[in-house]
Structure formats: structure tokens, C-alpha cells
Amino acid sequence: MTDNCVFCKIARGEAPATMVAEDEQTMAFKDLQPKAPLHVLVIPRRHIASLADADDPALIGHLVEVATKIAKDAGYAARGFRVVSNTGREGGQAVEHLHFHVLAGRPLGAPWSPWDR
């Protein structure tokens, strides 16, 4: 846990978020500035800075599984969706707590256009 990490604060219930799903290891909540009709963030409850710092392949697999279930449960299996984890400065990561974006509901373009920055 990191005191000044916004996603740790959400995980501890100290900052608000619109929850979509939770289990023992993970939480999923709506992105504050959605870039698509469905835009959910899936995080591990414990602080891991990024994919580059991840040490638990089973947890990564579980996060991707949760992300996929959210897209499918929202009805996007056939239309398609995107699961992405921006990693590090040049990967476009702004919040340094590992998260997977789940994006769906509009054509997302090729290949990583939702952010355009």
C-alpha cells in the first residue's frame, strides 16, 4: 500500500469510485474520464506499480480474466472490446498502480488511438 496512491485509496475505500466488480484480489470501477461508452479500470487490491513490477503471473491472468468478463457481461463479446495496460512513461501510464483498461462501445481505431497524446 502506498499512502499517496489514488488507486490504493480507492482499494481501501478512502476515495470514491463507481464499482463494477470486486473480489478478494481485484477491484473494477468506472474510469473518471471515460474514453468509450464502456470504460472500466481493473486493479489489484495490493499496490503493484505497473506490469514491469508485477511478480505474480496468476494475478495478472486473473486481472485479464476479470476485464474480459466485464466486457462480455456488458454485451460486447460479439462487437469486440479492448483490454490494455499502459506501462511506464512512454507507454502512457499516468497512475502508477497497475491497471487494465476495458474499453468498448465504439470503434477504437488502430492500434492504440484512444489516448492520442
114 lies in the site for ligand 5GP, by CB under 6 A: no
The footprint of Zn ion (CB under 5 A) covers 2, 5, 7-8, 47, 97
DSSP 8-state code for residue 78: T
62 as an active site residue: the answer is no
59-88 positions binding ligand 5GP, by CB under 6 A: 86
Q: What is the identity of the amino acid at 16?
A: P
Which one of ligand 5GP, Zn ion, none interacts with residue 93, CB within 5 to 8 A by kind?
Answer: ligand 5GP
Size of the site for ligand 5GP (CB under 6 A): 13
- Name the active-site residue from 39, 47, 99, 101: 99
Question: What is the largest distance, in Å, between two alpha-carbon atoms of the chain?
Answer: 41
Cα separation, 66 vs 45, whole angstroms = 13
Cα torsion angle, 94, 9, 104, 26, sign: positive
DSSP 8-state code for residue 31: -
Binding mask 23-62 for ligand 5GP (x = CB under 6 A): ------xxxxx-------x---------------------
Sheet containing 38-44: which strands, arranged edge to edge?
19-22, 26-30, 38-44, 100-104, 82-84
- Enumerate binding residues for ligand 5GP (CB under 6 A): 6, 17, 29-33, 41, 86, 92-95
